[in-house]
């Protein structure tokens, strides 16, 4: 253990940009803090909304938000320096393969520098063990899990988990105007056009669910999907199914909605990972990239041809296929 002294500060750098990326690493960050005996400072991109994900979490002392480089594409390392210099971290764990980030950690004078150790980042890290080069192409979730294993850090629950207080669930229902009774969450947001199932198919699914005893649906997405939500509502009958919006809600509130849902159906995006993390059965639409089995609550629905292609995407998944998957899993 590092100890509990304020002078012995520990940081974890997780630089991937998505909310889902950070959800994948929740249990790894908690496990490190538990193993070390101190809460960690999390250094992450602003776009991950980590301060919302870890609000009130005893594993995280603080979240330091770092923006991308001027090109908006990736970390170069230099923009990490202000987050490190002056905070006097004794130990930093880098959960990424970036050489530039490892260089920045060394330049900041961090005494104990841990990381995966791939290729060019190895000279800037001075604490092993390191991951073998043969696993560099593994999924980030798998890399973090294997890294904790070789460090000897126990990972009691390898799946991402988020707890939702009972009062948050009640508040979410009140905000939706659904005091009781079941509802289904449709995750209509997407980060890429090829991952977007589309208004027509979501509306058709909602109508079928209504006919089978699920008359209430919640359209969950960011504020940028307001037009898509309006298109879905316009395609539905005036009375049933009843479609309620949860657009642009903070992550804790969105998590509460997902926790109260009978089940979730949606595109492969952050909300799918959020719903699975709160333990809700989540039917995920995958067409661009393959699912990788990080969450037992996710039921992957893939194109009939089994091919994952960024051009073809989820357009090949039809409504009947999704209805069949739901019917086989929800009784």
CA distance linking residue 53 with residue 278, whole number of Å: 12
| Residues 179 and 236 grouped into a single domain | yes
Kindly report, residue by residue over 206-254, the tens digit of the pLDDT: 999 999 999 999 999 999 999 999 999 999 987 778 999 999 999 999 9
Shared-domain flag, residues 232 and 98: no
5 located within any domain: no
Are 194 and 311 in a shared domain? yes
Domain CATH number, residue 198:
3.40.50.2000
Residue-number span of the structural domain to which 192 is assigned = 166-329
Strand 263-267 and strand 242-247: pairing? Answer: unpaired
Which neighbouring-strand residues pair with 268? none
Tens of pLDDT, residue by residue over 8-67, are 699 999 999 999 999 999 999 999 999 999 999 999 999 999 999 999 999 999 999 987
At 3, the pLDDT band (50, 70, 90 cuts) reads low
Q: Which residue has the higher pLDDT, 24 or 6?
A: 24
Q: Each residue of 77-117: pLDDT tens digit?
A: 777 888 888 888 999 999 999 999 999 999 999 999 999 99
Same domain, 88 and 182: no
- pTM for this model (two decimals): 0.92
Q: Residues, the chain, total?
A: 331
Same domain for 219 and 129, yes or no, is no
What is the total count of domains within the chain? 2
Reported as a pLDDT band with limits 50, 70 and 90, residue 70 is: very low
Cα separation, 172 vs 274, in Å, equals 15
Is 38 contained in some domain? yes
The answer to whether residues 207 and 141 belong to one domain is no
Q: Is residue 321 part of a domain?
A: yes
Domain end, chosen from 92, 118, 151, is at 151
Residue bearing the bigger pLDDT, 311 or 76: 311
Last residue of a domain, one of 126, 151, 176: 151
In this predicted structure, what is the pLDDT of residue 112?
Answer: 97
Are 178 and 303 within one domain? yes
Q: Answer yes or no: is 325 within a domain.
A: yes
Q: Same domain, yes or no, for 117 and 174?
A: no
pLDDT digits (tens, 9 = 90+) for 269-307: 999 999 999 999 999 999 999 998 899 999 999 999 999
């Amino acid at each position: 253990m590092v100890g509990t002294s304020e002078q012995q500060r520990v940081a974890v750098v997780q630089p991937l940009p998505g909310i889902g990326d950070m959800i994948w690493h929740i249990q790894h960050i908690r496990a490190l803090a538990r193993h070390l005996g101190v809460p960690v400072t999390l250094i992450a991109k602003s776009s991950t909304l980590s301060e919302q994900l870890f609000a009130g979490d005893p594993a995280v002392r603080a979240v330091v938000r770092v923006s991308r480089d001027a090109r908006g594409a990736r970390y170069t390392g230099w923009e990490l320096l202000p987050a490190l210099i002056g905070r006097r971290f004794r130990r930093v764990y880098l959960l990424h393969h970036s050489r530039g980030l490892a260089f920045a950690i060394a330049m900041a004078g961090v005494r104990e520098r841990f990381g995966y150790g791939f290729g060019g980042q190895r000279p800037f890290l001075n604490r092993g063990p390191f991951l073998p080069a043969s696993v560099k192409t593994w999924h980030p979730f798998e890399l973090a899990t294997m890294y904790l294993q070789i460090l000897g850090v126990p990972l009691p629950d390898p799946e991402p988990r988020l707890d939702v207080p009972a009062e948050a669930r009640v508040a979410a229902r009140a905000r939706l105007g659904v005091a009781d009774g079941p509802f289904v969450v449709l995750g209509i947001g997407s980060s890429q056009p090829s991952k977007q199932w589309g208004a027509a198919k979501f509306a058709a699914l909602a109508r079928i669910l209504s006919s089978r005893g699920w008359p209430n649906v919640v359209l969950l997405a960011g504020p940028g999907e307001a037009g898509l939500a309006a298109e879905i509502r316009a395609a539905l009958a005036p009375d049933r199914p009843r479609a309620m919006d949860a657009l642009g809600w903070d992550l804790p509130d969105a998590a509460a909605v997902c926790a109260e849902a009978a089940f979730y159906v949606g595109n492969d995006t952050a909300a799918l990972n959020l719903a699975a993390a709160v333990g809700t059965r989540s039917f995920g639409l995958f067409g661009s990239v393959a699912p990788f089995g990080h969450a037992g609550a996710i039921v992957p629905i893939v194109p009939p041809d089994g091919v994952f292609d960024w051009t073809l995407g989820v357009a090949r998944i039809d409504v009947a296929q999704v209805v069949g998957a739901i019917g086989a899993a929800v009784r």
